[in-house]
Structure 1
């Protein structure tokens, strides 16, 4: 800040800058980060207009976001601008550009007819090392832009670069998580359903071969065919349900879980089955992999409860995880609770019937989560998964 800035003004500026940085870093999706950057820059500096351009590497912009321009004005302006005039300067020269009147600068070219009139101009690159992620443009401020404004925008641009990098890493991780999940489902489809269908084929052939010579054996083989067909259908239905893309990115984990539970509840109420309920809210800043694991563990636990528990009610709960003795909360806690028949986990392990527990434990382990299964005959079952934000990352 310059020497004329009073302590109170400096404090106010620091508060505004802190609020701006927090606003930019709060989001994980790239589009949300970009829109927040341009709106926050305009508010922080007190400009009438703000814009953020993301270059496409081919002489134009992959994205160009504005703040302070109405939707009608933006539609009238026309297509995204190409990199010319001051827009090109901003992507070629790393130095900030602060002009009293952009129209009087020899590097200025033109703007479309519907473009609002602008005079005072302040521009700043958003960089990550040597890579230019984009450029911020501000225009029109009473009294023009000051050196303080330039310094503030520089600080904001630095934090914007970090937020953009994190958002892109987050989305890349989400894509990798989706790919891993598709590969896992492909393996399950082959291992479970394909084997059942192979057994179904062999059994039906055996029934055909003894149909005339041993009707009793043929009848037994056909009964086995019916059993195998039912099991194959159940396996296939389970995999198909998982193949449905969970709208985690659009809706968030809590909304996705709530929708899933509501569908199950409607189906089970129609069939006279247990009541299925959900309570909870989204937990912020979880990795895509952690969200995927929480969703899949909830689905597996619900599947087990509906199939084996003979319960009257099944509840799914999701909330922020607050470890005992911790100064702050972080991560997520998922609980799936039923009031059904329950079981002895030790007996189930010895009998080799894991009820999906192995799958759930493997999923929890993949994000360094902690899975706990509490159950006893006649006492219902509680599946509890804790995922700490730092550990899951």
Structure 2
């Protein structure tokens, strides 16, 4: 079927059932072209008058000349008649030629409008820009005289270019120069190009005019806007689902590790990234419990905790330890946002792409919202850990009270009765019996001291309302009073020390275990507990006792409590080192990667 018709009246009216063409409303002079324009009217009026006045001027000049005669007058009248006929003929030819051109322009415009209506009708309802390009190319290829049409569209910045080819001679595309090559634009923005190859000597521009190009451009831009609107709608829906899922997991207390891992998964999927991770700082990681299933978070060599998806293993070639891969590998595009809490920075949410597609402002805004949810998750986990620690302290206090009211008093009474039994004549008269009673009294006294020390550790050494320094000072003072060993606490960090509650509890337990070893095994007269460090925190428990040959590695069994201390420090990504030699005393050195805080306790 032909998309061009010669009936001007019918060409200007859209076919029945055809959707309205989304083009700019034309102005009056554009919508109703006239056969006789304003300039032609002035020419039609002025030219005959000018010709008549010219003849009259010549006639007047000749009549008053000396060589005017009746014979010359007759010849003059004949010349004037011939000149008038020739002038009328030339004037009529010029007027008809101009009218014919105007009529041809109107016919071409009507053809263009009809083709624009046909293109609009064919492309109406197409789901995307590719469908618009294919439908428009098929319609344009049906125009007589056109052998091949190629549309190259770039409907939206950042989207891949689209191409559609149609026609009776598709082999012409790419092998010959197109007869028509024009850009398609919507306003000031180019949306593609149209290339046409003619199958005969007709010029494609006679059939494809500005109206068709405008209609095609508007349809392409409209399809791009529709696609963008739907994509934005779907993305808002997916983002809302992600926010709801993370908030639901936080409210249900599903566990810190699975919640943050799901958060990283949503960030990776919705931002079309290859990897995402939540990197939790050392201080923040020590305040929460990553309670989950068998999965454990990945620890990096800098002490941070990594919870991510899509990350490869990355090992430091120098230290041989695992490091944070999202910060070490080369990413084509990279974005991050800090995870902050009222107490300061607690981590970073990071995403990366291996290709070079940049992250948009919309992507970064979504990343900021997810970082806020990560902060809520970590704060909630910290509150739960503080509540758990409070319950542990209450339970320790209850156990200490029970031990004091029952076991300690029983052991104390037993020790006193055994000492009294040693004075009985029936005991003093038998050397073996006296030795056994004395040994039992010593054992009861040792058990009583152990119970008192346990009560001290359970009740008085880790009060939540005291700082680490205050807790250690109080414990060392009571330890010295009970054991008779001069014990001193020193802070050599240059300022007040405030670690995370979880770290403080574990360090207090390490100090208690080490001092218990001093009392039981060192035979020391003096002990010191010293805190040092700037980037990390180190607690050293030293004594002047008898010493021993320290093992190279920490024992895997609980000899002298070393394994227990090492296990506590491993939970904090810390280390335990033992220095001792016979006759020079012993040093237990516990280090954690968390630096001493310089901010006052709130």
TM-score (structure 2 length as normaliser): 0.29
**Structure ranking higher on relative contact order (CA contacts 8 Å, 6+ apart):** 1
Q: TM-score, normalised by structure 1?
A: 0.42
Structure 1 or 2, whichever has the larger Rg, is 2
